[in-house]
């Protein structure tokens, strides 16, 4: 995987509706706690539902993606195991009926237009709203609320949500991620190397520090 980076940044490809992305971020937080210097996140959006989207961007849940009840049961078992391993309290339901694209659009906008701390506050709030509080992060009013808590004006958020050009740009980022070899999330990339999945903190340390 080819990926340019700054020494203090770890590229993370993720989708908010992916429970393993949430768990991967908890693992990253634990690794961060071990470090003397903060490792900033260069977040890159990834749409797990891209193959189900209609031309207007809505999700056609009737599309068969090959994931049956057995698949989701196995996924829940894996989520439960990792949640226990990382000591994370979370809603174990798999968010199959929630659209993360609006949240990714706002997050991408904030990353581009605001400082890192503002983006990070929103990003973490979105994950927590879904996986801790069980809220619908596809709801525009909720996204406005979460962004306001991070210090972003309501009109700016609603403008971003209505911006078709911005939505198309985010879609292009999904294609770019695939061009970089990203086939699933979370994927952590650093210095041309990558780790896929909700890997433990020690694996993230080896990825970044080579130890």
Residue pLDDT, tens place only, 155-168: 999 999 999 999 99
- Is the pLDDT score of 183 beyond 60? yes
What is the percentage of the chain residues whose pLDDT exceeds 90?
77
Mean pLDDT score, 49-72: 85
Cα 123 to Cα 106: distance, rounded to the nearest angstrom: 9
CA distances from 132 to 45, 73, 76 (A): 21, 20, 15
Handedness of CA 159, 162, 168, 173 (dihedral sign): positive
Higher pLDDT, 103 or 179: 103
Predicted local confidence at residue 199, as pLDDT: 98
Predicted local confidence at residue 150, as pLDDT: 98
- Residue 71 — pLDDT band, cuts 50, 70, 90? confident
- Is the pLDDT score of 51 beyond 90? no
Structure tokens at 57: 């961007």
Which domains are present in the chain? 9-209 (3.40.30.10)
Cα 160 to Cα 105: distance, rounded to the nearest angstrom: 7
Predicted local confidence at residue 6, as pLDDT: 63
Peptide bond into 186 cis (omega under 30): yes
Predicted local confidence at residue 104, as pLDDT: 98
Residue pLDDT, tens place only, 117-131: 999 999 999 999 999
Structure tokens at 4: 């340019």
Residue pLDDT, tens place only, 134-158: 999 999 999 999 999 999 999 999 9
- Is the pLDDT score of 2 beyond 70? no
- Residue 56 — pLDDT band, cuts 50, 70, 90? confident
Higher pLDDT, 51 or 160: 160
């Amino acid at each position: 995987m080819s990926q340019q980076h700054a020494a203090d940044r770890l590229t993370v490809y993720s989708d908010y509706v992916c429970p393993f992305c949430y768990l991967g971020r908890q693992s990253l937080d634990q690794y961060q706690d071990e470090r003397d210097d903060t490792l900033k996140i260069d977040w890159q959006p990834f749409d797990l539902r891209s193959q189900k989207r209609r031309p207007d961007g809505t999700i056609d849940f009737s599309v068969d993606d090959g994931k049956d009840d057995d698949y989701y049961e196995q996924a829940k078992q894996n989520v439960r195991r990792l949640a226990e391993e990382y000591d994370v309290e979370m809603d174990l339901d798999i968010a199959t009926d929630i659209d993360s694209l609006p949240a990714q659009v706002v997050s991408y906008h904030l990353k581009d237009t605001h400082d890192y701390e503002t983006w990070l506050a929103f990003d973490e709030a979105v994950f927590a709203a879904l996986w801790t509080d069980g809220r619908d992060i596809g709801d525009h009013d909720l996204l406005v609320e979460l962004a306001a808590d991070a210090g972003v004006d309501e009109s700016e958020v609603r403008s971003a949500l209505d911006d078709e050009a911005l939505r198309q740009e985010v879609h292009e980022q999904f294609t770019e991620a695939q061009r970089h070899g990203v086939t699933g999330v979370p994927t952590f990339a650093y210095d041309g190397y990558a780790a896929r999945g909700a890997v433990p903190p020690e694996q993230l340390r080896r990825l970044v520090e080579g130890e």
